[in-house]
């Protein structure tokens, strides 16, 4: 890591009463300057607990938006405003309105990987860590689930008693993980456990020992007796796993890269602390409406 840049970041952080929240897929240098490193649920929770005036969010747009919606009085700064999750852009308000109209009584469960506008139309949000719990908890037996059809199919399997209407979105980083990618590694390392993210297709989840959120992988790897793991998610997840479990081996899928997560660099973090820009800006109306489904999810614990 560039020590000079890191020490300037520390200095400016103190000056501006800022904290740096970092998602598990960020590049190693950015993970190393995190005040909090986590999955989307954990980072949203942390954002609600901080006393800091400025939150520098190293992740993609929807994550920073959630932090802003939950903390409308704080500055939420994303070091690269173009870092957006393409899957969050796959569901549009017009299409969702039509689906709601065609399915009276259905409740809308939106994965947090959605825009604030889509959250504002939703009954409750979920993440990959709590999707099953959220879907089980909603009153209606019919659910419109947006936007990830892979996560939706996985939850549908775990909650067969509910009817889930799935929006046809997907994350190309996870959707394009193939059986062969996993099996080649498993042949080379037969005693490795396979952990995959539930944004993968069901045939990949079927090969895995566990489908887990990114923090779920961190927690599992710590407690497991296994020494080797094949990690079916964004490749830089392995950086944190290795750092926290130096005696264990993690095999990444080298092709599994989220280009938007990689847009944030140490220099951009420094710049955002110098300028306190770019800030997340959302209308009060959208923030107010999007808060309810996020809060409902958070209140579930
Ligand atoms: P997690 O909430 O598991 O960190 O996942 C976020 C994400 O975007 C996965 O692609
Ligand atoms: Fe979005 Fe996929 Fe990147 Fe996660 S890995 S932020 S779902 S594009």
In terms of domains, do 237 and 272 share one?
Answer: no
Average confidence (pLDDT) over 130-158: 98
Average confidence (pLDDT) over 108-128: 98
In terms of domains, do 156 and 217 share one?
Answer: no
In terms of domains, do 60 and 116 share one?
Answer: no
Q: Residues 239-281: pLDDT tens digits?
A: 999 999 999 999 999 999 999 999 999 999 999 999 999 999 9
pLDDT of residue 301: 74
- Of ligand 1's atoms, which has the minimum distance to the CA of residue 234? 10
Average confidence (pLDDT) over 126-139: 97
Distance 84 CA to ligand 2 centre (A): 8
pLDDT band at 1 (very low <50, low <70, confident <90, very high): low
- Residue matched to tokens 């890269």: 257
Range of the domain at 242: 177-252
Q: Residues 16-64: pLDDT tens digits?
A: 999 999 999 999 999 999 999 999 989 999 999 999 999 999 999 999 9
Distance 129 CA to ligand 1 centre (A): 9
Q: Is 66 in the pocket of ligand 1 (CB under 6 A)?
A: no
Average pLDDT score over the chain: 97
Q: What is the pTM of this model?
A: 0.96
Average confidence (pLDDT) over 88-113: 98
Atom 8 of ligand 1, residue of closest alpha carbon = 113
Packed helices 214-223 and 237-244: angle between N→C axes, nearest 10 degrees: 30
Distance 38 CA to ligand 1 centre (A): 9
pLDDT of residue 102: 98
Which helix (DSSP H) or strand (DSSP E) does residue 268 occupy? helix 266-275
In terms of domains, do 150 and 294 share one?
Answer: yes
pLDDT band at 3 (very low <50, low <70, confident <90, very high): confident
In terms of domains, do 51 and 95 share one?
Answer: no
In terms of domains, do 213 and 236 share one?
Answer: yes
In terms of domains, do 57 and 130 share one?
Answer: no
Atom 8 of ligand 2, residue of closest alpha carbon = 85
Q: CA angle, 189 as apex, 183 and 191 as ends, to 5°?
A: 105
Q: Is the pLDDT of residue 298 over 90?
A: yes
pLDDT of residue 214: 97
Which helix (DSSP H) or strand (DSSP E) does residue 65 occupy? helix 61-70
Distance 15 CA to ligand 2 centre (A): 32
Q: Residues 152-199: pLDDT tens digits?
A: 999 999 999 999 999 999 999 999 999 999 999 999 999 999 999 999
In terms of domains, do 70 and 105 share one?
Answer: no
Q: What is the CATH number of the domain that holds 97?
A: 3.40.50.10800
- Of ligand 2's atoms, which has the minimum distance to the CA of residue 88? 1
Atom 5 of ligand 2, residue of closest alpha carbon = 258
Task: For residue 47, give every residue at least 6 positions away whose Cβ sits within 8 Å of its Cβ, in sequence order, or none.
Answer: 21, 55, 57, 66, 67, 70, 71, 76
End-to-end CA distance of the chain: 36
Task: For residue 246, give every residue at least 6 positions away whose Cβ sits within 8 Å of its Cβ, in sequence order, or none.
Answer: none
How many domains does one find in the chain? 3
Distance 182 CA to ligand 1 centre (A): 19
In terms of domains, do 92 and 41 share one?
Answer: no
- CB neighbours of residue 63 within 10 Å: 27
pLDDT of residue 94: 97
In terms of domains, do 101 and 113 share one?
Answer: yes
In terms of domains, do 182 and 238 share one?
Answer: yes
Q: Residues 229-249: pLDDT tens digits?
A: 999 999 999 999 999 999 999
Q: What is the CB-side half-sphere exposure of residue 290 using CA atoms within 13 A? A: 26
CB within 6 Å of ligand 2 — which residues? 60, 85-87, 113, 171, 173-174, 199, 234, 258, 260-261
Cis-peptide, bond into residue 278, ω within 30° of zero:
yes
Ligand nearest to the CA of 60: 2
- Of ligand 1's atoms, which has the minimum distance to the CA of residue 25? 4
Show the tokens assigned to 139.
Answer: 């009153």
| Helices and strands, counts by H and E, the chain | 15, 12
In terms of domains, do 293 and 235 share one?
Answer: no
């Amino acid at each position: 890591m560039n020590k000079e840049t890191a020490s300037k970041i520390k200095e400016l952080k103190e000056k501006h009463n800022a904290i740096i929240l970092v998602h598990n897929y960020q590049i190693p240098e950015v993970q190393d300057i995190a005040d909090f490193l986590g999955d989307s649920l954990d980072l949203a929770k942390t954002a609600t607990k901080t006393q800091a005036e400025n939150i520098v969010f190293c992740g993609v747009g929807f994550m920073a938006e959630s932090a802003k919606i939950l903390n409308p009085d704080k500055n939420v700064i994303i070091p690269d405003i173009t870092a957006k999750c393409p899957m969050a852009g796959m569901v549009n308000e017009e299409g969702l309105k039509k689906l709601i109209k065609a399915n009276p009584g259905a409740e809308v469960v939106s994965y947090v990987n959605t825009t604030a506008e889509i959250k504002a139309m939703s009954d409750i949000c979920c993440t990959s860590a709590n999707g099953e719990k959220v879907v089980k908890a909603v009153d209606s037996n019919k659910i419109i689930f947006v936007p990830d059809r892979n996560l939706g199919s996985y939850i549908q399997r775990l909650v067969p008693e509910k009817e889930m209407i799935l929006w046809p979105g997907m994350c190309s980083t996870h959707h394009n993980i193939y059986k062969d990618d996993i099996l080649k590694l498993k042949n080379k390392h037969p005693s490795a456990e396979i952990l995959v993210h539930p944004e993968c297709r069901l045939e990949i989840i079927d090969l895995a020992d566990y489908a887990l959120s990114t923090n779920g992988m961190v927690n599992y790897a710590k407690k497991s007796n296994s020494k080797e793991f094949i990690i079916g998610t964004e490749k830089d997840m392995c950086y944190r796993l290795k750092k926290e479990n130096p005696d264990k081996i993690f095999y990444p899928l080298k092709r599994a890269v989220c280009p938007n997560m990689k847009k944030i660099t140490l220099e951009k973090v420094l710049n955002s602390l110098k300028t306190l820009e770019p800030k997340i800006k959302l209308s009060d109306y959208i923030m107010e409406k999007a808060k309810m489904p996020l809060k409902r999810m958070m209140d579930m614990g």
